[in-house]
Amino acid sequence: MKPFLCVYGHTNLDYIMSLKNFPELNTSVNIQEKRRYFGGTGANVATIASSLGVPTALCSFVGPDFPKDFRSLMASKGVDLRDLVTVDDQETATVWIISDKEHNQIAYVYQGPMTEMESMPLRMDSARSAENIHIMTGRPPYYLNVMKECKLLDKRIGFDPAQEIHNVWNASMFKEALSLSEMFFANENELRTALRYCEKSRAEDLLELVPIVVNTLGAKGSVIHTKNGTLEIPAARAGAIVDTTGAGDAFRAGFYAGLFRRKGLRECAKLGAATASFVIEGRGSLTNIPSWEGVEERAGDIE
């Protein structure tokens, strides 16, 4: 089956650790809990979207140490992995996330083979057959070339640089990518950086460059800006909130599940909110992946 969605982004291992207090420099402290989880922006969206019935491909780069059980999980959910590339002499991207008792966090990120994307040939097999291309974290020059190729192929491009908007992208590259896109996804903090890059003051002003702006607001829901107006969508009600890691990626997966079923933007955002509400009930991004039936039912409770 041809993919409806092709996701470009990170595939990495997340080590989530907790401690009582952060140590002073040149001292040590005991870790109270340490667990390994599967993650990465690209892997999260691709795996959850595929679980929701969306034919999805993943384009990403890993090392020879990439865990077999991680690959098996994605394959079991139906992710098309033909463009998941193993790069010799590199270790798979890894993130160490450390939290104290006050829920303050420090993250240490090892980019692995993703740092060498610019020297690699474009991986376009999946993208050429997909309807939608979702661009996430990774190297801007590589992605700009992908986006230009996809634009020539008349693909719908979603641009979602996530936290890397602050330190990997610059104003010039960002504006070029935005002008190649049909949709821009960002949380509150990322939106502020986007506005600064584009020298704009309001989210609506970005519509001069991109037709749709999807602004996720965590517990406050989401706002979608289009030239036809603004839609405000509440968050879905979750059970006990265990870990918000990957909630934004889950929203995007649910959003595309709506697009796949030809839903309108408001309904897509409700489905995104419902998907995120399940993921935050478990620790790690891919631990509590919901079924489509569960997402659809919970989305129906959003007014």
DSSP code string of the chain: ---SEEEE---EEEEEEE-SSPPPTT-----SEEEEEEE-HHHHHHHHHHHTT--EEEEEEE-TT--HHHHHHHHHTT-EEEEEEE-TT-PPPEEEEEE-TT--EEEEEE-GGGGGGGGSPP--HHHHH-SEEEE-SS-HHHHHHHHHHHHHTT-EEEE--GGGGTTT--HHHHHHHHHT-SEEEEEHHHHHHHHHHHT-SSGGGGGGT-SEEEEE-GGG-EEEEETTEEEEEPPPPPSS----TTHHHHHHHHHHHHHHTT--HHHHHHHHHHHHHHHTTSSSTTSSPPPHHHHHHHHTT--
Catalytic (active site) residue 80: no
Of 14, 83, 243, 249, the catalytic one is 249
Please list the active-site residues. 249
